[in-house]
Structure 1
Amino acid sequence: MAESFWAPVSLSIEIAIVSTIIVFFTGIGAAVWMARKPFKGKAAAETVLLLPLVLPPSVVGFLLIVFFGNKSPVGQTIIWLFGSPVMFTWWAGVIASSVVAFPLMYQSAKTGLESIDRDIEDAAKVDGANQRKVLIHISLPLASGSIVTGVILSFARALGEFGATLMFAGNIPGRTQTVPTAIYMAIDSGNMPLAWMWVLSIIGISFLMLSAVSFYKRN
Structure 2
Amino acid sequence: MSMDLSPFWISLKVALTATVISFLLGTYIAFRMKGNLTKGSQLFDIILNLPLVLPPTVAGLLLLMIFGKKGLLGKTLLQLGYQIIFTKEGAVLAAAFVAFPLMYRCAKSAFAQVDQKLIEAGRTLGMSEYAIFIKIILPLSLPGIVSGVILSFARALGEFGATLIVAGNIPGVTQTMPLAIYMNLQSGNYQFALLWSGILIAFSFFMMLLIKCITHRFRGGIAAYR
Q: Secondary structure at the match of 2:21?
A: helix
Mapped to 2, the partners of 1:186 and 1:48 lie a distance apart of: 35
Q: Secondary structure at the match of 1:87?
A: coil
Counterpart of 1:33 in structure 2 is: 32
Deviation at 1:38, TM superposition (A): 4.3
Matched, 1:204 2:202: yes
Matches of residues 13-162 of structure 1 in structure 2 within 5 Å? 13-81=12-80, 83-162=81-160
Counterpart of 1:173 in structure 2 is: 171
Task: Return 5+ residue gaps in structure 2 as ranges.
Answer: 218-226
Please give the per-residue CA displacement for 1:39-59, whole angstroms capped at 9, x wherever unaligned.
Answer: 441211110010000000011
Q: How many residues align?
A: 217
Equivalent residue letter for 1:216: I
Mapped to 2, the partners of 1:73 and 1:51 lie a distance apart of: 19
Deviation at 1:161, TM superposition (A): 0.2
| Change in 2 beyond 3 A, CA 1:200/1:128 | same
Task: Return 5+ residue gaps in structure 1 as ranges.
Answer: none
Mapped to 2, the partners of 1:204 and 1:57 lie a distance apart of: 22
Please give the per-residue CA displacement for 1:14-69, whole angstroms capped at 9, x wherever unaligned.
Answer: 11001111111101011101114444412111100100000000110000001111
Deviation at 1:73, TM superposition (A): 3.8
Matched, 1:11 2:13: no
Mapped to 1, the partners of 2:101 and 2:39 lie a distance apart of: 21
Equivalent residue letter for 1:60: A
TM-score, structure 1 normalization: 0.95
Equivalent residue letter for 1:128: G
Moved more, 120-129 or 150-159: 120-129
How large is the RMSD of aligned CA atoms in angstroms? 1.3
TM-score, structure 2 normalization: 0.92
Identity of aligned residues (%): 43
Mapped to 2, the partners of 1:3 and 1:14 lie a distance apart of: 19
Counterpart of 2:220 in structure 1 is: none
Deviation at 1:121, TM superposition (A): 0.7
Deviation at 1:3, TM superposition (A): 4.9
CA contact (8 A) 2:65 2:72 kept: no
CA contact (8 A) 2:14 2:157 kept: yes
Mapped to 2, the partners of 1:68 and 1:93 lie a distance apart of: 12
